Amino acid sequence: MNLYKRMCINNIKMGLSFRVDFFSGILFQITRLILQVMVWKGLYIGRTEVMGIALSDMLTYTVLSLMMSLLVGDYDLMFWINDDVQDGSIVERLTVPIGFGRYYIWRTLAAKPATFLTQILPVVLPAALLFGVRISVDPLDILAAFVAGVLAFAIMTGYGFIMGLTVLWLKNSYFLVVVTALIWQLFSGALVPMWFFPNWLETAGRFLPFRYVVFEPISILMGKTPPEQIPAELCFAAAWAAGLCALALLLWLRGRRRLFVNGG
């Protein structure tokens, strides 16, 4: 636990120390949010609803999707593993007392407080106040959304390990990580909620785990998911999380024999 605290503090100090990165990160997220809001307002001109979704709901979804993307939807883990194998620092990760997998999980979790202070607090919170974010006040919806958020983190962690570990076979999986990151952006609902997907695309999305990372937790939090459907959605998310983490473990057990660093 002391190690985790030190990692959190170091991440926060680094995030606040590099002022150019700090302010450029805020500017990027603000620009992204403004552009998305402008697009939705443009599409809603002269309309009160589109497919049963009001503009106020879309503004709420836009703000919450940014928050979820920052909290659980990042794919730094994929790049970390790829880069560590490329530069040989994977050796240090293999020798840490807490273990290889746990180190990366802690590293991912330790980055969240810094993300909260340097991006969510200065961007998402003001946007939520400005656009009047509206969420369900039902305690069960809030609890279910929290559980869905935890499962979303587990899904992205398993997925991140899988994509990162492909470097053991490909020697450099950077291109694969970038491509899959784009696929994640589409099918998670981070850019466009699945309410507006054509039938064929929505059907395809149901065979992928990404909808449970952004779209489903937000839909539950906004009260858009029927109460009787929530248990099934959480079960599907839990199944994806367990399956992806199990596959990641299997890939590591098979792939570590192929690890080749500095001649060994």
- Write down the domain spans for the chain: 2-258
pLDDT tens digits, 217-230: 999 999 999 999 99
The whole-angstrom separation of Cα 52 and Cα 204 is: 22
pLDDT tens digits, 10-65: 766 666 666 676 777 788 888 888 888 898 888 888 888 888 888 989 999 999 99
pLDDT tens digits, 91-112: 777 777 777 788 888 888 888 8
Helix axes 19-43, 55-71, angle to 10 degrees: 150
pLDDT at 243 > cutoff 90: yes
In degrees and rounded to multiples of 5, residue 262 shows phi and psi of 50, 45
State residue 246's pLDDT score: 95
Percent of the chain with pLDDT over 70: 91
In degrees and rounded to multiples of 5, residue 50 shows phi and psi of -130, 115
Mean pLDDT, the chain, rounded, equals 84
What pTM did the predictor assign?
0.88
pLDDT tens digits, 69-82: 888 876 788 888 88
Closest C-alpha among 141, 142, 161 to residue 153: 161
Helix axes 100-115, 230-255, angle to 10 degrees: 130
Q: Where are the alpha helices (DSSP H) in 134-214?
A: 139-165, 167-170, 174-187, 199-205
Cα angle 160, 262, 111 (rounded to 5 degrees) comes to 30
